[in-house]
Amino acid sequence: MENQRPLHVGIVGATGVVGKEFLILLEKRAFPIASLRLFGSARSAGKRVRWSGGGINNEITVEDLAQADPTGLDLALFSAGKGVSLEHAPRFAAAGVVVVDNSSAFRRDPAIPLVVPEVNPGDLATTRSRIIANPNCSTIILLMALAPIHRALDVVDCVVSTYQAVSGAGKAAVDELFGQARAFAAGDEPRCEAFDRPIFLNVLPQIGPWQANGDSEEEAKFTQESRKILGDNTFRCHATCVRVPVERCHSESVYVRLGRATSEQEILALLRAAPGVALDDLATPRELANREEVFVSRVRVDEEDPRVLRFWVVSDQLWKGAALNSIQIAEAMGALGRFDQ
């Protein structure tokens, strides 16, 4: 965004887990900012947040979203939950603000683009919508690696098992993980509030409410969102989503059946050429927090059936799965001149 004029930016959900990552990444990426406003619930209103990016070096007071007037903003980054987005994102858009929403509120709306900038940037170029939806974190991480393979080799079937960090469920979930670790060390019973069962020394194979077919809500998103992002209504992804006692970074084990035979060399070449993807000898979540890339390792083409491919992928879901992807959408919109219309 070198030639982009500085923008008047708002962050909705500024004191939440993803809201704090917005602040870090706006500064890290030198996003052009003329002014910054922070919005939250009535409970968060009045809090002071220090930020030194964009030449602004002061404390910013969090505004009550319900009472706030968005007039004058160019861009609003939303990460405050589906209900908040449904109520307030259209209000911001009606005031002329470009909204990038991190919730599930608009992902299935056919009039609103669902975008991973490295995968389907053309959907930004053709839309007139002032609301852009950010996909589910796990879907983003999968498609960053899978989309270039699908376009070259036609993924006929996909099976993914996820190992999802507790920070994907918010700060209370992180606090609960470490609280249960301390309770274990002290010989006390674990307290369960963020999750129905203990997460420390455990895994929980449910993320989100159950659906009619037995999938969890998180599992259903893989096929629904991937079809829209890829522009392929025949794409199917069979997912099992599991919460694991990891603070940050989601991991995924991926199995795909391709339309034709391939080789490890061909797959590695596709991944090396994919923007935002990095190859790693053995990607683990502990070492890859606060990294922008999606890391792929353990690439294996089946010896008996070279149409079968398996790989392991890890990425910081608070960055590429949420805040970073949203900011990249805003950067792409700036490159298209959408903030000058």
Token pair of 209 as six digits: 């409410």
User: Which stretch of DSSP H or E encloses residue 255?
Assistant: strand 250-258
Q: Is 192 among the catalytic positions?
A: no
CA torsion angle 144 149 154 157 (round to 10): -60
Q: What is the 3-state secondary structure (H, E, C) of 283-341?
A: CCHHHHCCCCCEEEEEEEECCCCCCEEEEEEEECCCHHHHHHHHHHHHHHHHHCCHHHC
**Of the residues 8, 88, 150, 250, which is catalytic?**
250
**Of the residues 8, 88, 137, 150, which is catalytic?**
137
Q: Is 250 among the catalytic positions?
A: yes
Backbone φ and ψ for 182, nearest 5 degrees, come out as -65, -40
Residue 239 CB burial class (10 angstroms; 0-12, 13-18, ≥19):
buried
Q: Which residues contact 247 (CB under 8 A, 6 or more apart)?
A: 165, 166, 167, 174, 177, 289
CA separation for the pair 208, 216 (Å, rounded) = 6
Backbone φ and ψ for 156, nearest 5 degrees, come out as -80, -35
Residue 303, number of CB atoms within 10 A of its CB: 7
Nearest Cα to Cα of residue 328 among 79, 70, 118: 118
Nearest Cα to Cα of residue 137 among 280, 248, 235: 248
Residues catalogued as catalytic: 137, 250
